[in-house]
Chains A and B, each alone.
Chain A
Amino acid sequence: AQSVTQLDSQVPVFEEAPVELRCNYSSSVSVYLFWYVQYPNQGLQLLLKYLSGSTLVKGINGFEAEFNKSQTSFHLRKPSVHISDTAEYFCAGPLRSGGGADGLTFGKGTHLIIQP
């Protein structure tokens, strides 16, 4: 099975400051990567995805991520955060390499805490 690793379990940041949430992946074949957000007591919602093409991916709510093959990373960034961005963020990738239509493997999550 493949894996994604989120390096920080919790990231505190002041409102209107920039933020970067880190994600590294392991993959021997094709790479598909996702960032999901989970607001308190809700299900997950897709922020953005990388399937191929441009390495800079823009998502919803002003978030973007950069796919870096040499660093095996897919870090999530936002130039200026808002209180409403307080949530849990998950990086995800294919569970298994190769063909097949199986599901995703998720990182353990990063709790983004916005301080006023």
Chain B
Amino acid sequence: NAGVTQTPKFQVLKTGQSMTLQCAQDMNHEYMSWYRQDPGMGLRLIHYSVGAGITDQGEVPNGYNVSRSTTEDFPLRLLSAAPSQTSVYFCASSEAGGRLYEQYFGPGTRLTVT
């Protein structure tokens, strides 16, 4: 089992560019989520999904888009990158509702927006 994988590991974008952060899991988990981690802020939930075709907003959804067409994949899209989106992004998955079950985290994507 690879667990939760994320690509790319590092990315530099210019303001206004768009990109997609990829996340995949091979554990057949229903629940997947995206967090961003900023120094001194902990992790904050961006979007989450409780199954294919179902997504919802977390604490800081503005500027980000998600979709979930398969159980395995949960990409995060930045439509027009801004310097405030410079952060480390983590994808996580769990068996069911994220509030109750252990979340498995990917290794992260470090994004810099100049």
Chain A residues near B (Cβ < 8 Å): 1, 6, 9, 32, 34, 36, 42-46, 49, 51, 90, 92, 94-95, 100-109
| With A43-B108, A90-B43 as contacts: A102 and B100 at CB distance below 8 Å | no
CB 8 Å contact bits of B36-50 with A (1 = contact, 0 = none): 000011111100101
| With A9-B40, A100-B97 as contacts: A105 and B45 at CB distance below 8 Å | yes
Chain B residues near A (Cβ < 8 Å): 4, 31, 33, 35, 40-45, 48, 50, 56, 58-59, 90, 92, 96-100, 102-103, 105-108
Chain B residues near A34 (CB, 8 Å)? 102
Chain A residues near B40 (CB, 8 Å)? 9, 108-109
Q: Could you show 20 A-B contacts with beta carbons less than 8 Å apart? A: A6-B42, A9-B40, A36-B105, A42-B107, A44-B90, A45-B105, A46-B102, A95-B99, A100-B99, A101-B50, A101-B99, A102-B48, A102-B99, A103-B45, A103-B99, A104-B103, A105-B44, A106-B43, A107-B42, A108-B40
Query: Is B43 within 8 A of A102, CB to CB?
Result: no
Distance between B74 CB and nearest chain A CB, rounded to angstroms:
12
In Å, the complex CA distance between A94 and B58 comes to 12
In Å, the complex CA distance between A106 and B106 comes to 17
Query: Is A43 within 8 A of B107, CB to CB?
Result: yes
| With A43-B107, A51-B100 as contacts: A101 and B31 at CB distance below 8 Å | yes
Chain A residues near B44 (CB, 8 Å)? 105-106
| With A45-B105, A101-B31 as contacts: A32 and B42 at CB distance below 8 Å | no
